[in-house]
């Protein structure tokens, strides 16, 4: 409209004349010159309309300008906060409300309420909750930013503020940045005139440095201890000892073996020097030791390369917990007659040290685990049952699942298959799973020289079938392995000249094991091939297929064991007649599983008929990968002396001499034999 009005010359002239009546001539001339002269043109429908340069092409919001929805949410938040502050004026109630709001993940509301309340009152506890919330969310920078904002708003941090920051830094997923922030704020706290760091702050910062593996910063912080507000506690020494052990075991694992042993020896010596300081303060009554501290020092000694240092753990427990060293038991002494130690773990009351102001640490599950690990690694397994009975029955320690597994592991090292089979029935129901049965059966495999190993393995098998709903496949394979490798007494009979009787007993031993395995095998085959529900996704389908492969692996071992008995003519044909239908059924199941293997496993290399027939051959029991004790399957077709006879006889005699404690030095040949057997065991 304005454009068409000014385009007419006559209209423009009259407008200027009217405007100039109340103004000077100069102003009128200036107005006339300011307006550009435009010729009159007739608009046509076909002419394009000129586009203005300043016309907006799209609606764009400035980066700092809030949207309508954000303004609406902020206004709603302000109304809610103002309403809360109308009824809440106590700082403690505000902090409680902030904690409840953060529990619902409404951080913006909690922050706005805290900022609003900070104008006229001190709400430091509420700020602590906000900082702790950000640290729990792994937002270290935002937490430090909140701490700085808190100080700018006139809120004075208290000692709990720094405790929240230090503990949050210890849980941070960025340890290097957390160490830098923790050390910086700890130094700020040291120079603060209003607040002074205490032992809680000291331990928290030490924990941050220990988790990050920064030993230099850890010992710099440890140098700030004093005898008053920052006196070291049991947790202080526990943190340092655990950091030293972790550094020696994990940080130097890429070094050569000799260098690792030398460095670990230095760690042990350094820990012993620190422990001397602990004992001095404990004897003077200036430090209260606990189970965590004693076990931390014990695990440092347990990681030592020398066996003598490992055995010092038992002396350590006697010194700090009044647990007698049963490997050095004095004749006539009975640790079960100590009334002060009866049910001490259940009551939690400490036993006082004679002629001293201090008290012993109370043993618990951690101590029991340390004792069992020490006995297994230092070749003192003969007193393992005594320690277990003393600590469980007399001290009142209730073993957990880890204690039970360590007990089975110690019995495995001791080759005590009878004890391993016996304690399975007294194991609590909540800890019953396949793992204890595997370890117990591995113990029977290692104890293959014992003529009762077969009977002990059968006891383990019966316990597993009674207490587990589905038998463990690996344990079933190990049971067959026990029957195959327990032939020391049979080879002794063959060496004495009665070879036929030895072969027959060996065949009866294997076929008896196959007969005992038949019912568990049918149960697991039905469970995985028929009773298992249809998989819901690819992952469950893969898990089920792997379980089926484990079943077929057991079937191949069983069929191979049957073929061994038949091919080596251990038993007459009339005795094998009953087993042949069973072997044929197992073979059909093996063939049926592998008939469409290339469809189920498309990534397998396409095999020829020759390769396929070789792949479908039953697995050789002599090639079974598990070799825990250097065991082997006896080849009864070999004539003459067994090449492994002398080696095993030498190993058996050496073990007997070591158990008798003769201290007889091994010959180089025996030493080499031991090294070969250890390498063989490691491969298994």
Cα distances (Å, whole numbers) of residue 342 to 314, 362, 369, 388, 395: 19, 11, 19, 14, 5
- Cβ-contact 374, 311 below 8 angstroms: yes
Q: What is the pLDDT of residue 235?
A: 95
Q: Return the H-helix or E-strand segment holding 125.
A: helix 124-136
Strand positions, DSSP E, 329-451: none
The rounded distance, in Å, linking the Cα atoms of 407 and 625 is 25
- pLDDT tens digits, 220-268: 999 999 988 899 999 999 999 999 999 888 877 778 888 888 889 999 9
With the CA atoms of 262, 268, 272 and 275 taken in that order, what torsion angle do they form, in degrees rounded to the nearest 10? 150
18-22, 45-49, 573-577: lowest mean pLDDT where?
Answer: 45-49
154-168, 321-335, 457-471: lowest mean pLDDT where?
Answer: 321-335
439-453, 571-585, 590-604, 654-668: lowest mean pLDDT where?
Answer: 654-668
- pLDDT tens digits, 357-402: 678 899 999 999 999 999 999 889 899 999 999 999 999 999 999 9
Please report how the helices 499-526 and 453-467 are oriented relative to each other, as an axis angle in degrees rounded to 10: 10
Q: Is the pLDDT of residue 72 over 90?
A: no
- Cβ-contact 564, 621 below 8 angstroms: yes
- pLDDT tens digits, 93-133: 889 888 988 998 888 888 888 888 888 888 899 999 999 99
Q: What is the pLDDT of residue 681?
A: 38
The rounded distance, in Å, linking the Cα atoms of 13 and 610 is 110
Give the range with max mean pLDDT: 438-442, 652-656, 680-684: 438-442
Residue 278 φ/ψ, nearest 5 degrees: -60, -45
How high is the mean pLDDT of the chain?
Answer: 81
For residues 492-500, average pLDDT: 86
Q: What is the pLDDT of residue 260?
A: 85
What pTM was computed for the model?
0.77
Select from 237, 240, 319 the least CA-distant residue to 278. 237
Q: What is the pLDDT of residue 653?
A: 54
- Cβ-contact 365, 400 below 8 angstroms: yes
The rounded distance, in Å, linking the Cα atoms of 272 and 236 is 15
């Amino acid at each position: 409209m304005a454009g068409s009005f000014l385009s007419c010359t006559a209209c423009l002239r009259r407008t200027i004349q009217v405007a100039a009546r109340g103004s000077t001539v100069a102003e009128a001339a200036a107005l006339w010159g300011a307006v550009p002269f435009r010729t009159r043109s007739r608009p046509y429908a076909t002419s394009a309309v000129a586009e203005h340069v300043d016309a907006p092409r799209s609606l764009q919001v400035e980066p700092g300008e809030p949207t309508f929805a954000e303004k609406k949410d902020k206004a709603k938040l302000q109304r809610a906060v103002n309403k809360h502050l109308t009824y809440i004026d106590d700082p403690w109630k505000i902090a409680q409300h902030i904690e409840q709001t953060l529990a619902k993940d409404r951080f913006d509301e909690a922050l706005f309420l805290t900022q609003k309340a900070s104008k006229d009152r001190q709400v430091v506890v509420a700020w602590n909750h906000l900082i702790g919330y950000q640290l729990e969310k792994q937002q270290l920078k935002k937490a430090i930013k909140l701490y700085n904002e808190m100080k700018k708003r006139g809120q004075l941090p208290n000692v709990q503020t720094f405790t929240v920051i230090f503990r949050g830094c210890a849980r941070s997923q960025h340890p290097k940045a957390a160490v830098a922030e923790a050390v910086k704020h700890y130094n700020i706290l040291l120079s603060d005139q209003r607040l002074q760091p205490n032992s809680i702050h000291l331990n928290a910062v030490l924990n941050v440095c220990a988790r990050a593996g920064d030993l230099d910063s850890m010992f710099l912080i440890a140098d700030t201890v004093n005898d008053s507000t920052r006196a070291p506690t049991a947790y202080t020494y526990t943190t340092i000892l655990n950091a030293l052990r972790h550094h020696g075991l994990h940080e130097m694992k890429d070094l050569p073996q000799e260098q690792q042993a030398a460095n670990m020896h230095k760690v042990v010596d350094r820990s012993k020097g620190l422990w001397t300081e602990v004992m001095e303060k404990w004897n003077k009554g200036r430090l209260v030791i606990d189970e965590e501290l004693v076990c931390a020092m014990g695990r440092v000694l347990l990681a030592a390369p020398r066996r003598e240092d490992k055995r010092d753990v038992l002396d350590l427990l006697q010194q700090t917990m009044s647990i007698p060293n049963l490997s050095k038991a004095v004749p006539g002494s009975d640790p079960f007659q100590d009334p002060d130690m009866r049910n001490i773990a259940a009551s939690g009351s400490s036993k006082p040290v004679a002629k001293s102001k201090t008290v012993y640490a109370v043993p618990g599950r951690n101590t029991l685990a340390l004792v069992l690990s020490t006995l297994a690694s230092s070749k003192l397994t003969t007193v393992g049952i005594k320690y277990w009975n003393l600590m469980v029955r007399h001290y009142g320690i209730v073993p957990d699942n880890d204690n039970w597994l360590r007990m089975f592991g110690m019995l495995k090292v001791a080759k005590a298959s009878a004890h391993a089979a016996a304690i399975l029935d007294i194991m609590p129901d909540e800890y019953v799973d396949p793992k204890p049965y595997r370890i117990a059966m591995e113990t029977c495999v290692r104890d293959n020289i014992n003529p009762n190993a077969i009977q002990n393995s059968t006891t383990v098998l019966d316990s597993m079938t009674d207490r587990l709903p589905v038998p463990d496949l690996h344990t079933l394979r190990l049971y067959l392995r026990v029957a195959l490798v327990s032939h020391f007494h049979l080879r002794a009979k063959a060496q004495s000249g009665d070879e036929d009787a030895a072969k027959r007993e060996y065949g009866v031993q294997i076929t008896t094991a196959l007969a005992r395995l038949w019912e568990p095998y049918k149960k697991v085959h039905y469970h995985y091939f028929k009773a298992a529900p249809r998989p819901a996704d690819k992952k469950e389908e893969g898990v089920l297929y792997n379980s089926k492969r484990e079943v077929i692996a057991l079937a191949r071992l069983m069929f191979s064991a049957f073929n061994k008995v038949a091919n080596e003519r251990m038993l007459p044909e009339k005795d094998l007649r009953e087993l042949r239908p069973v072997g044929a059924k197992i073979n059909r199941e093996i063939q049926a599983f592998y008939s469409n293997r290339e469809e189920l496993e498309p990534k397998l290399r396409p095999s020829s008929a020759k390769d396929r027939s070789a792949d479908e051959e039953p697995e050789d029991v002599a090639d079974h990968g598990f070799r825990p004790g250097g065991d082997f399957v006896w080849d009864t077709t070999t004539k003459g002396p067994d090449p492994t006879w002398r080696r095993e006889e030498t190993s058996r005699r050496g073990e007997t001499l070591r158990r008798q404690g003769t201290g007889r030095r091994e010959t180089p040949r025996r030493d080499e034999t031991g090294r070969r057997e250890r390498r063989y065991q490691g491969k298994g």
